[in-house]
C-alpha cells in the first residue's frame, strides 16, 4: 500500500504553488495560487498548511471545483505559514506542490487598487474647492434653467387655486442615500411655497428616520415663510416599509385626497410607474426626479416635468441660489468637460488602434 | 452649538469614511461596517417612532370621523391582531420565533395575505406600462415618432415571433409615414415644399422592401441589440456619469457643511 502511494506521489506532476500576503487588505489573509494543466480532469484540490516546515502539515480546505487560487482567512498576522497543494483526478493524486518560501500576512496602509479613484477624487475636490472660493468673489455664476425646478412654484400655486393639498413622495430611499438628502432640499422649497399660499403638504414616508427629517424640513420651510402656525406635523407621517404596501398606500392617498400637485422626488424602484400613472389619472400636475436610471423613462413618460439624475442633486444649490453651492455645480460642469475630452481621446485611440503609448497607460489606471 | 456639533459630527464621519475607502488597515478598514451597524441599531429604535406616527395618524382619522376612517380602523385592527398573534405564539411556543418563515402564523400571514396583496400591486404595473407606453409612443412629433420606431424594433427583436413579423410591421409603419407625408403635402400650397413631402412619402414606400423585407427580416435581433447596446447605452452612461459626479459634489457639500437641508 505504502509503495503504491509512494509510486503515485512519484508520478504526480509538480505544481507551481505560491503563497503570499493578500494585497490591499486589512490583514488576516494569505493568498495561495497554483497552476493547473488543461488536460487534467480535476475532481478535488486539497490545501495543507503548517507553521513549521519540520512538522507535518494539516488539511485546511478541500475544493471540489477547478480553482487556481485560495484565500486563507484563518491566519494570524506576522506569523509565517507554509502551504502544500494536492490535486486529484478521481481518487488518484495527479499533482502536488509545496511552497518554498513562508508567507506572512500583514495589513496594508493603502489600497493601491484604488489609486485611480484617489487621483480622480483629489483632482475633482480641488476643482470644486477652487470654484467654491471663486463663488465667494463672483456672486453671479450662471447656471442654466432647470424646467422641473422652475415649475415648482407653478405646481404649488395651481394646487392651491384648486383648493387641493400637495402630495410629496420621497420614494424608498433612506436618509443615508444622497437622493433622499437632495429630495429634502426640494421639499423645503415646496413647504416654503405651500406656506406662502397657505396650502397643505402631505408627506407619507417609507422610513421613520426620513419621516423625522421631513418633519423638520417642512417645519423649517413654514418658519422661513413666516407661517409656523400653518405647519401640521400630522401631515408628515410614516406609512410602511414595504415596497408595494407603500405604493398602495400612496395610491390610496392620491385617490381619496386628490392632490393638485404630486412631487415624486427621491429613489424609486418598480413602484415608480404605479405612483406616476395614478397621479396622472387624477389630473395632478406632477414633478418627478430620481437618480434611478431604470426608472427615469417611466417618469419621463408619465409626469409633466422630470429632474434627470444630477439635476436633482443640483436642486438645493439652484433653489437656494447660495453662491458656495452654485460654485460646486460650476466645478462639476468643468470636470464633466474634462471627462468628455478624456473619453473622446480614449475613444479615438481605441478606434484607431493606437497602442503602447503613454496615454494608453494613463487610461489603463482608470 | 446647536448647529456646530451636528456639522462637526457630519464632517468627521464623512471624512473618516472617505479615508476608510483607501486605508484597509485597522481601525479604518472596518469603519464602514461599524457605522452601518450603528445605523441599523438607531434605525431599529426609530421604528417605534414610525409606529407611533402611523397609529397616531390613523387614530386621529377615527376620532375626527373622517370619510376614510373605516380604512384607518382596518389598519389599526390588523396591526394589533398581528402583534397579538405574534405574542400568543411566543407564549405558547417560546422557542418558536413567530417571525421566522417556518412559523405557522408567519407562514399563514405571509403566504395567504401578504404575497397575494404584493402580487396584485405588482400586476397592476403591466397595465400602467401599457397606458404610459401608449402616451409616450404617440407619434405627435419627430422625437415621439423616433421613440415609437425604436421601441417597435427593440420589441420585435426580442420576441420569438419578431423576426417573422418584422417585415409586415415595418411595412405598416412605413405606409403610415408615407400616408402622413402625403396627406401633409396635399394641404401645402408652395410647390417646392409640396414636392419634398411627396418625395419623402415615395421614399418611405420605396424603402419598404429593402429595409423591411431584406435587411430587418434577417437582422432584426442584432439590430435590436445594437440599439440597446450602442445608442441606448451611450445615453444611459452619460446620465450615470452625471449622477456619479453630482453625487460626489453633493457629498462634498454635505461633508463641508455647505448643504444643510437635512438639519434644522
B197 contacts: CB under 8 Å, gap ≥ 6: B181, B182, B184, B185, B188
Are the beta carbons of B21 and A117 separated by less than 8 Å? yes
Tell me what pLDDT residue A279 has. Answer: 96
Q: Is the pLDDT of residue A249 over 90?
A: yes
Tell me what pLDDT residue A8 has. Answer: 45
Tell the burial category of A242 from Cβ atoms under 10 Å away from its Cβ (0-12, 13-18, 19+): middle
Give B97's pLDDT tier (boundaries 50, 70, 90).
Answer: low
Mean local confidence (pLDDT), A269-296: 95
Mutate to test the interface with B, among A135, A178, A329, A338 (most CBs of B within 10 A): A178
Tell me what pLDDT residue A3 has. Answer: 45
Give A6's pLDDT tier (boundaries 50, 70, 90).
Answer: very low
Q: How far from chain centre, in Å, is Cα B152?
A: 21
Give A277's pLDDT tier (boundaries 50, 70, 90).
Answer: very high
B89 contacts: CB under 8 Å, gap ≥ 6: B96, B98, B103, B104, B105
Give A193's pLDDT tier (boundaries 50, 70, 90).
Answer: very high
Tell me what pLDDT residue A302 has. Answer: 93
Chain A to chain B Cβ contacts (< 8 Å): 184
Tell me what pLDDT residue A332 has. Answer: 87
Closest CA to B168 of B119, B208, B196: B208
Nearest to A238 among B24, B53, B136 (CB): B53
Tell me what pLDDT residue B236 has. Answer: 93
Q: Is the pLDDT of residue A263 over 60?
A: yes
Mean local confidence (pLDDT), A71-99: 89
Q: Is the pLDDT of residue A166 over 80?
A: yes
A169 grid coordinates: 413622495
Task: Give yes or no for a contact between A50 and A72, defined as CB atoms under 8 angstroms apart.
Answer: no
Are the beta carbons of A313 and B247 separated by less than 8 Å? yes
Are the beta carbons of B259 and A181 separated by less than 8 Å? yes
Mutate to test the interface with B, among A301, A311, A318, A337 (most CBs of B within 10 A): A301
Nearest to B250 among A178, A208, A248 (CB): A178
A211 touches chain B (CB under 8 A): yes
Give B187's pLDDT tier (boundaries 50, 70, 90).
Answer: confident
A72: left (phi over 0), alpha (psi -120 to 50) or beta: beta
Q: Is the pLDDT of residue B102 over 70?
A: no
A81 grid coordinates: 505559514
Are the beta carbons of A312 and B246 separated by less than 8 Å? yes
Nearest to B246 among A213, A298, A332 (CB): A332
> How far apart, in Å, are the Cα atoms of B133 and each of A87, A179, A300, B126, B166?
57, 26, 11, 10, 20
Are the beta carbons of A118 and B42 separated by less than 8 Å? no
Rounded-to-integer distance, Cα A270 and Cα A244, Å: 9
Q: Looking at per-residue confidence, does A360 or A256 come out higher?
A: A256
Express as a percent the part of chain A with pLDDT over 70.
93
Q: Which residues pair with A89 in a beta bridge?
A: A92
Q: Is the pLDDT of residue A303 over 70?
A: yes
Are the beta carbons of A212 and B56 separated by less than 8 Å? no
B60 touches chain A (CB under 8 A): yes
Tell me the angle at which helices A323-351 and B233-255 cross, rounded to the nearest 10 degrees: 140
Nearest to A176 among B39, B241, B258 (CB): B39
What sign for the dihedral angle of Cα A295, A297, A301, A306?
positive
Are the beta carbons of A313 and B54 separated by less than 8 Å? no
Rounded-to-integer distance, Cα A279 and Cα A277, Å: 5
Task: Give yes or no for a contact between B133 and B151, defined as CB atoms under 8 angstroms apart.
Answer: yes
Rounded-to-integer distance, Cα B87 and Cα B67, Å: 33
B18 grid coordinates: 472617505
The continuous run of DSSP H or E covering A204 comes out as strand A201-205
> How far apart, in Å, are the Cα atoms of B228 and each of A19, B150, B231?
44, 10, 7
A316 touches chain B (CB under 8 A): yes
DSSP for A78-116, written as a single string: T-EEEEEEEEEETTEEEEEEE-SS-EE----SS-GGGHH
Are the beta carbons of A239 and B56 separated by less than 8 Å? no
Task: Give the model confidence (pLDDT) of A30-60 as tens digits.
Answer: 999 998 888 888 899 999 999 988 888 899 9
Mean local confidence (pLDDT), B176-188: 89
B67 touches chain A (CB under 8 A): yes
Rounded-to-integer distance, Cα A189 and Cα A177, Å: 20
Express as a percent the part of chain B with pLDDT over 70.
94
> How far apart, in Å, are the Cα atoms of A224 and each of A155, A219, A232, A365, B260?
20, 9, 15, 49, 15
Supply the mean pLDDT for chain A.
89
Rounded-to-integer distance, Cα B259 and Cα B14, Å: 13
Tell me what pLDDT residue A2 has. Answer: 47
Amino acid at each position: 500500500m505504502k509503495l503504491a502511494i509512494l509510486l503515485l506521489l512519484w508520478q504526480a506532476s509538480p505544481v507551481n504553488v505560491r503563497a503570499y500576503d493578500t494585497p490591499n487588505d486589512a490583514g488576516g489573509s494569505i493568498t495561495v495560487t497554483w497552476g493547473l494543466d488543461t488536460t487534467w480532469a480535476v475532481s478535488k484540490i486539497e490545501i495543507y498548511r503548517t507553521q513549521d516546515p519540520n512538522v507535518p502539515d494539516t488539511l485546511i480546505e478541500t475544493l471540489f471545483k477547478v480553482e487556481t487560487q485560495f484565500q486563507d482567512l484563518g491566519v494570524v498576522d506576522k506569523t509565517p505559514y507554509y502551504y502544500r497543494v494536492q490535486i486529484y483526478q478521481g481518487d488518484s493524486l495527479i499533482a502536488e506542490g509545496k511552497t518554498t518560501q513562508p508567507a506572512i500576512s500583514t495589513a496594508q496602509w493603502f489600497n493601491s487598487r484604488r489609486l485611480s479613484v484617489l487621483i480622480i477624487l483629489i483632482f475633482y475636490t480641488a476643482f470644486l474647492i477652487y470654484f467654491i472660493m471663486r463663488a465667494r468673489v463672483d456672486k453671479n455664476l450662471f447656471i442654466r434653467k432647470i424646467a422641473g425646478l422652475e415649475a415648482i412654484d407653478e405646481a404649488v400655486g395651481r394646487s392651491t387655486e384648486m383648493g387641493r393639498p400637495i402630495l410629496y413622495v420621497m420614494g424608498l430611499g433612506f436618509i443615508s442615500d444622497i437622493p433622499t438628502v437632495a429630495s429634502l432640499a426640494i421639499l423645503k422649497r415646496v413647504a416654503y411655497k405651500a406656506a406662502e399660499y397657505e396650502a397643505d403638504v402631505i408627506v407619507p414616508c417609507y422610513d421613520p428616520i426620513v419621516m423625522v427629517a421631513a418633519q423638520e424640513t417642512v417645519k423649517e420651510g413654514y418658519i422661513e415663510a413666516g407661517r409656523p402656525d400653518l405647519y401640521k406635523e400630522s401631515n408628515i407621517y410614516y406609512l410602511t416599509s414595504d415596497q408595494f404596501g407603500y405604493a398602495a398606500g400612496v395610491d390610496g392617498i392620491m385617490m381619496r385626497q386628490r392632490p393638485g400637485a404630486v412631487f415624486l422626488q427621491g429613489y424609486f424602484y418598480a413602484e415608480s410607474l404605479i405612483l406616476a400613472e395614478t397621479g396622472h389619472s387624477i389630473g395632478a400636475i406632477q414633478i418627478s426626479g430620481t437618480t434611478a436610471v431604470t426608472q427615469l423613462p417611466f417618469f419621463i413618460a408619465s409626469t409633466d416635468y422630470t429632474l434627470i439624475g444630477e439635476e436633482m442633486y443640483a436642486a438645493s444649490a439652484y433653489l437656494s441660489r447660495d453662491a458656495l453651492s452654485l460654485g460646486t455645480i460650476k466645478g462639476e460642469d468643468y470636470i464633466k468637460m474634462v471627462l468628455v475630452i478624456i473619453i473622446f481621446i480614449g475613444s479615438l485611440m481605441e478606434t484607431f488602434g493606437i497602442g503602447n503609448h503613454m496615454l494608453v497607460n494613463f487610461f489603463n489606471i482608470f | 452649538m446647536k448647529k456646530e456639533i451636528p456639522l462637526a459630527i457630519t464632517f468627521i464621519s464623512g471624512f473618516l469614511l472617505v479615508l476608510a475607502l483607501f486605508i484597509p488597515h485597522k481601525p479604518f478598514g472596518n469603519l464602514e461596517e461599524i457605522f452601518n451597524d450603528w445605523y441599523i441599531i438607531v434605525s431599529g429604535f426609530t421604528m417605534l417612532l414610525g409606529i407611533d406616527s402611523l397609529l397616531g395618524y390613523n387614530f386621529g382619522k377615527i376620532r375626527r370621523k373622517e370619510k376614510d376612517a373605516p380604512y384607518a380602523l382596518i389598519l389599526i385592527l390588523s396591526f394589533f391582531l398581528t402583534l397579538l398573534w405574534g405574542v400568543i405564539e411566543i407564549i405558547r411556543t417560546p422557542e418558536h420565533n413567530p417571525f421566522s418563515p417556518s412559523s405557522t402564523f408567519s407562514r399563514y400571514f405571509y403566504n395567504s395575505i401578504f404575497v397575494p396583496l404584493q402580487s396584485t400591486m405588482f400586476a397592476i404595473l403591466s397595465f400602467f406600462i401599457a397606458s404610459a407606453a401608449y402616451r409616450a409612443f404617440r407619434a405627435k412629433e419627430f422625437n415621439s415618432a423616433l421613440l415609437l420606431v425604436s421601441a417597435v424594433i427593440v420589441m420585435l427583436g426580442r420576441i420569438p415571433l419578431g423576426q417573422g413579423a418584422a417585415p409586415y410591421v415595418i411595412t405598416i409603419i412605413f405606409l403610415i409615414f408615407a400616408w402622413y407625408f402625403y396627406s401633409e403635402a396635399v394641404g401645402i400650397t408652395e410647390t417646392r415644399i409640396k414636392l419634398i413631402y411627396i418625395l419623402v412619402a415615395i421614399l418611405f414606400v420605396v424603402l419598404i422592401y429593402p429595409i423591411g423585407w431584406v435587411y430587418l427580416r434577417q437582422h432584426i435581433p442584432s439590430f435590436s441589440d445594437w440599439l440597446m447596446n450602442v445608442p441606448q447605452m451611450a445615453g444611459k452612461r452619460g446620465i450615470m456619469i452625471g449622477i456619479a459626479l453630482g453625487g460626489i459634489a453633493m457629498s462634498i457639500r454635505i461633508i463641508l457643511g455647505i448643504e444643510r437641508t437635512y438639519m434644522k
